[in-house]
Amino acid sequence: MLKDYRVHLNLASHPLRNRKLFYLSFMGLGIIFLLLAFISTSFFVSYRNKSSAIEASIHDLERSLQEVKRNEKQYTSRAENMIKDYKEMVDEVNSIIYRKSFSWADFLTSLEKSLPDSSYIISLAPTFTEDLNMKVRFKVVSRGLDDLLKLINNLEALKFKQIKVLNEVTNEQGLLLSEVTVSYERII
């Protein structure tokens, strides 16, 4: 026996009913499409406006940054010019302040500590250098070469620098007259 496997399509018997189904389907899809198009367009417009606002603010920030860089260059060059203009005056004022605040008591106490008991200073000539140290030239009378060496060792121990004996002369009483230069750095 043969079975009947035919498909029965009834398109012609109720065509209006089939058309309504298709119209309803297409309308539903059309409404969904229009709804999605509206939502996506509104998102697009909203983000485009935000993007434009962000680009405008970035442009303003870049302009402000360039202006700040220009101002920085101007202020830097003005500061460098002021440094050049007033460097001498500032150095002179600093030198005066340094000299006025120099502790002569500390210096003379250190110099006195360095002298052996039998030695004494007969002249002292201090001069301030550009690096705000003090060069001191003095004449010292001592009993002999041993006292002079002891003075030099004591000066080195008390942090005097650049110690030089310029000349030595023995006077009529047999005492040694020496001219010495040292550099003294004030400890702040």
The candidate with the shortest Cα–Cα distance to 165, out of 177, 180, 184, is: 180
Alpha-carbon distances of 173 from 113, 123, 131, 177, rounded to whole Å: 25, 19, 41, 11
CB atoms within 10 A of CB 122: 9
Same domain, 136 and 83: no
Same domain, 144 and 123: yes
Q: What is residue 93's predicted lDDT score, i.e. its pLDDT? A: 73
Q: What is the mean pLDDT of residues 33-48?
A: 93
Q: What is residue 166's predicted lDDT score, i.e. its pLDDT? A: 87
- Measure the CA–CA gap between 187 and 91, rounded to whole angstroms: 19
| Residue 86 pLDDT class (50, 70, 90 cuts) | confident
Q: Which of 80, 101, 122 is the last residue of a domain?
A: 101
Q: What is the mean pLDDT of residues 102-113?
A: 81
**Percent of the chain whose pLDDT exceeds 90:** 28
Same domain, 133 and 91: no
Q: What is residue 128's predicted lDDT score, i.e. its pLDDT? A: 75
Same domain, 81 and 93: yes
Q: What is residue 131's predicted lDDT score, i.e. its pLDDT? A: 64
CB atoms within 10 A of CB 68: 10
Alpha-carbon distances of 44 from 33, 86, 116, rounded to whole Å: 16, 62, 97
Residue 91 has pLDDT above 80, yes or no: no
Paired tokens of 116: 């052996």
Same domain, 40 and 107: no
Q: State how many domains the chain has.
A: 2
Same domain, 75 and 65: yes
Q: What is residue 144's predicted lDDT score, i.e. its pLDDT? A: 85
Q: What is residue 18's predicted lDDT score, i.e. its pLDDT? A: 61
Same domain, 114 and 161: yes
pLDDT tens sequence across 12-32: 555 555 667 778 888 999 999
Residue 107 has pLDDT above 70, yes or no: yes
Angle, to 10 degrees, between the axis of helix 104-114 and the axis of helix 145-157? 140
pLDDT tens sequence across 128-138: 776 667 888 99
Q: What is residue 15's predicted lDDT score, i.e. its pLDDT? A: 57
Q: What is the CATH number of the domain that holds 159?
A: 3.30.1360.100
Q: Is residue 10 part of a domain?
A: no
